[in-house]
Structure 1
Amino acid sequence: MRFITSIISFFLLCICTVGLAQKSNQKKAAALFTDSSGVLIRTDTAIAKTINDSTQNLGDSINAKPKHDPHKATIRSAILPGLGQAYNREYWKIPIVAGAVAIPTATYFYNNKWYKKTRDAYNIVANGETDRYNEIDSKLKDPTTGEPLDAESLQYYRNQFRRDKDYSVLYLLIIWGLNVVDATVFGHLKDFDVSDNLTMNVQPSYIPATKTLGVGLALNLKTPQRKTLPSF
């Protein structure tokens, strides 16, 4: 009985020893990591390297300048004049655009107001509604007699104010369109290369076919040389 107990104890001891040894080997193996070049490095070093690479990539993505989109400038200036110029960061143009739009807008409301007054006054005088003369604006009456202007004069003023009102709408549409064109063109020129890599030379040339001299224009577009990274 003691012999069996001793054998069982011996086997249990061996199993425990082997288990502890395997656990120790797993810890040692877990502490090692193979990098891309096949060199074994420690796990904590690999984790630190991964974190540093991730942080660097995140910093590069944050510091990366977003690309300027001319389409956004077009849409914004079409919705509201001056908004596309603000997207292009040409803030000095916003007061100019606002003033250019405000002039025909104010002119439209002015002409529309007097068109309605002259229209109503003409209808009252043409229909002979003397009981409604008090509804006519004082500026459309003769200052000496206090009577309204004749129907022919009121018709002339009515037609003039209506024509000026239509012109105000036309001018507003033209200015609005120019505002969109300006935002679109300068949106495309925002990323235009104006560095020293662009060179233009004027040089004399000779034409063998006609045996005459001429002047040639040479535009040289230099592409920047890319630096090659050293191989490790």
Structure 2
Amino acid sequence: MKATIKLILITFFLHGFVTAFGNNNEFVVESILAEKPIKDTTKDTNGIKETAPIIKKKHNPKIATLRSAILPGLGQAYNREYWKIPIVYGALAIPTITFIYNNTWYKRTRDAYTIKVTNDTAHFGNIYPILQNIDPVALQTYRNQFRRDRDYSILWFAILWGLNVVDATVYGHLKDFDVSDNLSLHIEPTYNSTLSAPGLSFTFSFRNKQPILKPLPTAR
């Protein structure tokens, strides 16, 4: 009887040890896979080829930030949001066009104002035709206005470029969050002791996406 009990205890002990060891190895393997993708490798064992599991490479939002800072739309391409690229360049095209327009007319009004103020009759023919009959005071006002609008165009271009970087960064981080049906919203009644009034508590549960293992089919 005692020998039977000892045998049962030894069996449970060995089973627990093997289970713990196996789970630990599985945890280590999953941790390594989560940090670095494993390449497809094959081993030939007694004529049977075994394939190692592969994992999808983790999305890095820092790469999206850097790429969009270097070239607009490049971070969106890294995030696989290709439909945003035309929007990015369409938005940047607006301040670019206004800059060219205002800079062109700034130079025209500046030159016309300088020629008229200095009474440079030798270069009077260089004045843009529609500006020849405008007095210097009005030319000075137009010149300052076009210069101001040109500078605003540069500012808006920089702001839109920055928004392009922010968009790539934010959506790069969102790639790591689970957007499946497992997301949950909990609504619970609460009591506010400060206001001495009942209320509701809204709790959103988010979790990071787990690495997706994609085992390759074994080939004989």
Q: How high is the TM-score relative to the length of structure 1?
A: 0.65
Identity of aligned pairs, percent?
A: 55
Residues 49-60 of structure 1 mapped to structure 2, 5 A cutoff = 49=46, 52-53=49-50, 56-57=51-52, 60=53
Query: Which structure would you say has the larger RCO, counting Cα contacts within 8 Å and 6 or more residues apart?
Result: 2
Structure 2 CA distance for partners of 1:160 and 1:198, relative to 1, 3 Å: same
Counterpart-to-counterpart distance in 1, 2:83 and 2:132: 46
Deviation by residue 1:29-61 (Cα, 9 ceiling, x = unmatched): xxxxxxxxxxxxxxxxx95258623xx01xx33
In structure 2, the gaps of 5 or more residues are 1-42, 210-220
Find out whether 1:187 has 2:172 as its counterpart: yes
Residues 29-178 of structure 1 mapped to structure 2, 5 A cutoff = 48-49=45-46, 52-53=49-50, 56-57=51-52, 60-61=53-54, 64-142=55-133, 149-178=134-163
Deviation by residue 1:64-102 (Cα, 9 ceiling, x = unmatched): 321111011001111111111111111111111101101
Structure of higher CA gyration radius: 1
SS at match of 1:203: strand
Which amino acid in 1 is paired with 2:161?
W
In structure 1, the gaps of 5 or more residues are 1-45, 143-148, 225-232
The aligned length equals 167
Shift of the alpha carbon at 1:151? 1.0
Q: State the superposition RMSD in angstroms.
A: 2.6
1:197 and 1:223 in contact (8 A); partners too: no
Residue 9 of structure 2 corresponds to none
2:88 and 2:164 in contact (8 A); partners too: yes
Shift of the alpha carbon at 1:197? 2.5
Counterpart-to-counterpart distance in 2, 1:103 and 1:207: 50
Deviation by residue 1:136-195 (Cα, 9 ceiling, x = unmatched): 0112123xxxxxx21111111111111011000000000000010000000000121122
Residue 202 of structure 2 corresponds to 217
